[in-house]
Amino acid sequence: MARVKLTEYKAKTLLQESYSGIAIHKETIDDDVAKLGDGAYIIKVDQGIKKRGKQGLIVLNATKESAHEAVNNLADKGNFTRFIAETMLPHEDSEERYLSIERIRGGFQILYSEHGGVEVEEHPEDIQKYSSIDDVPLPLEFLKHLTGVMNREHLSFVEINPLIVRDGECILLDAAVLADSAGIWQASWTEADIVDARTKTEAEIAIEELNNGSPASFSLRILNQDGAIWLLLSGGGASITIADEAANRNKADLIGNYGEYSGGPTREETQVYTEAVIKQMLGSNAHKKALIIAGGVANFTDVRKTFSGIIDALANYLDAIKEAGVKVYVRRGGPNEEEGLKVMSEFLTAHDILGSMHGSETVLTDVVDEALEYIDA
């Protein structure tokens, strides 16, 4: 599955229970700055940019009175919109440590150095590698907390640099977090917490507008514009299951998108959503492409109605789909399942783009395996 970077503010609220920083957004700057108290603050651009100090994207010793101007000055340096304000913590460079934890098959890989901050790059030989948190020379409860958060929030990588350890307390001066994109459906972080260093595609913008104007739910994020496997999924659980299956086969990089439609969308809304995904798929440079239409067993979303919308969209792009060699793999269940599968099977078969067709009796991951076999053949 793809990794997405969370904002520093969200990373710290997840990792440090006592965190008291304040997120500042350009559009709500007056209200956000009003939350600041007395004392000195550090204000940073919070958009996933490395080495902010060297780029002049950090302001030290700001006050509540000067914060507004500081944020505006930072914004002007790159049309930035997200910032973070934290109380200054006086400390010596010798107190700074480096820590990273990465999820690997079977556990975690931990890197630790007594030299943190900018010095970690100057002393790479001092970085020690550990496979167990029990062996790392840091408070064990702190490490247990971090790995527990990583498991609960579907985080794949955590980097804290610098980390200050003072009187047994671990203080995160800077933190970077990568999360497994499919985990968004079970985690407390949301799409709004993902750093968008990139420009959203037209498809993503269109689906945001569709979602905002409908009682149903729609989401779309492009992971790999040249992906080979594209997803039309109903319900967030399907995203997690399918992404996990692809990752287990070391094929996560083939997935072009994640997202969902749910909450009983209309035929017309489903068509609009499907066309956005199809257009992205057809723009991919992948040699072969597979479209997976899948979901768990729905409670409210009418399979027949939504499949009619999907068929409408497929029909509008049929020539391009056939020319691109796209095969469609279906696994779906729910209200009017039998009727929906019948009309979908007839359409895909008639136009020779059917990869496979399954109802709720089939394990959801089977369509992933079948799509991967087609791509790899």
CATH assignment at residue 321 = 3.40.50.261
Residue listed under structure tokens 């100057």:
122
Q: Minimum mean pLDDT among 151-155, 328-332, 333-337: which range?
A: 333-337
Is residue 273 a contact partner of residue 204, using CB atoms and an 8 Å limit?
no
Q: How far is residue 226's CA from residue 252's CA, in Å, rounded to a whole number?
A: 13
Q: Output the pLDDT for position 192.
A: 86
Instruction: Tell me, yes or no, whether 77 and 106 share the same domain.
Output: no
Instruction: Tell me, yes or no, whether 72 and 103 share the same domain.
Output: no
CATH classification at residue 45: 3.30.1490.20
Which positions ≥6 away from 306 have C-beta within 8 Å?
A: 234, 261, 265, 267, 270, 340
Residue 188 in domain = no
The C-alpha R_g of the chain, in whole angstroms, comes to: 24
Which positions ≥6 away from 209 have C-beta within 8 Å?
A: none
Give the count of beta carbons closer than 10 Å to the beta carbon of residue 213.
10
Instruction: Tell me, yes or no, whether 168 and 308 share the same domain.
Output: no
Is residue 85 a contact partner of residue 36, using CB atoms and an 8 Å limit?
yes
The share of the chain scoring above pLDDT 90, in percent, equals 60
Q: How far is residue 127's CA from residue 145's CA, in Å, rounded to a whole number?
A: 22
Instruction: Tell me, yes or no, whether 228 and 248 share the same domain.
Output: yes
* 144-158 mean pLDDT: 95
Residue 207 in domain = yes
Q: Output the pLDDT for position 199.
A: 62
Nearest to 288 by CA among 248, 256, 240, 331: 256
Q: pTM for this structure?
A: 0.57
Is residue 359 a contact partner of residue 340, using CB atoms and an 8 Å limit?
no
Q: How far is residue 3's CA from residue 302's CA, in Å, rounded to a whole number?
A: 32
Instruction: Tell me, yes or no, whether 361 and 219 share the same domain.
Output: yes
Instruction: Tell me, yes or no, whether 349 and 267 share the same domain.
Output: yes
Is residue 349's pLDDT more than 90? yes
Number of domains in the chain: 3
Total number of residues shown for the chain = 377
Q: Output the pLDDT for position 7.
A: 94
Nearest to 177 by CA among 306, 335, 305, 16: 16
The helix (run of H) or strand (run of E) holding residue 170 is strand 169-172
Q: Where are the alpha helices (DSSP H) in 257-365?
A: 267-282, 303-316, 318-323, 337-350
Is residue 198's pLDDT more than 70? no
Residue 301 in domain = yes
Mean of pLDDT over the chain = 89
| 8-state DSSP, 186 | T
Instruction: Tell me, yes or no, whether 174 and 219 share the same domain.
Output: no
Q: How far is residue 1's CA from residue 254's CA, in Å, rounded to a whole number?
A: 9
Is residue 120's pLDDT more than 80? no
Instruction: Tell me, yes or no, whether 310 and 176 share the same domain.
Output: no
Residue 14 in domain = no
* Residue 22: φ, ψ to 5°: -125, 125
Query: Which range marks the domain in which residue 334 is found?
Result: 198-376
Instruction: Tell me, yes or no, whether 363 and 287 share the same domain.
Output: yes
Residue 293 in domain = yes
Instruction: Tell me, yes or no, whether 346 and 366 share the same domain.
Output: yes
Instruction: Tell me, yes or no, whether 136 and 218 share the same domain.
Output: no
